[in-house]
Amino acid sequence: MDRIPILRMGPFLLVSIQVDMHDRLALALQDDLMNKIRATSARGVLIDISALDLVDSFIGRMIGNIAAMAHILDAETVVTGMRPAVAITLVELGLSLKGVRTALDVERGMALLRGSPAGREDGSGRPEK
């Protein structure tokens, strides 16, 4: 089965979703990411969806799940590059992705991960929640 590649960059994991995902592929990504966070002790996950022309309730739920699960595994999640048409549709659909941090592009997303206490290279400090 196809898999979406997960890249490691220092203490962070990077995912760029470039294909129109079917549901099993989305679930496989969720599982793969959790295993990889565990295996690499990653402090943050960046998911770039700038190539996605659709986020429906299933993919939206997957994004929310990843953020929630990663949080429990002590990693921050940032979703970057959502297209305006996708954001408009997502809210009208009834999903607002509360609890998921977003950034306009990968550069800003990385800055967000690095800037958060959890994202510091030395790994010192966690945000007080």
Which x/- pattern over 15-54 shows residues binding another protein (rule: CB under 8 A)? Answer: -----xxxxxx---------------------------xx
Q: Distance of alpha carbon 8 from its chain centroid, rounded?
A: 13
Phi–psi pair at 9, nearest 5 degrees: -135, 100
Minimal distance, residue 49 CB to another protein, in Å: 13
Find the binder of another protein among 3, 39, 94, 127 (CB under 8 A): 94
d(CA 90, CA 65): 16
Classified as helix, coil or strand, 39 is helix
Part in contact with another protein (CB under 8 A); list of ranges 5-13, 31-39, 84-92, 102-110: 84-92
Is 71 a residue that touches another protein (CB under 8 A)?
no
- In this complex, which beta carbon is closest to another protein, that of residue 95 or of residue 100? 95
- What lies within 8 Å, CB to CB, of 75 at 6+ separation is 13, 37, 42, 43, 44, 45, 118
Part in contact with another protein (CB under 8 A); list of ranges 32-40, 69-77, 83-91, 108-116: 83-91
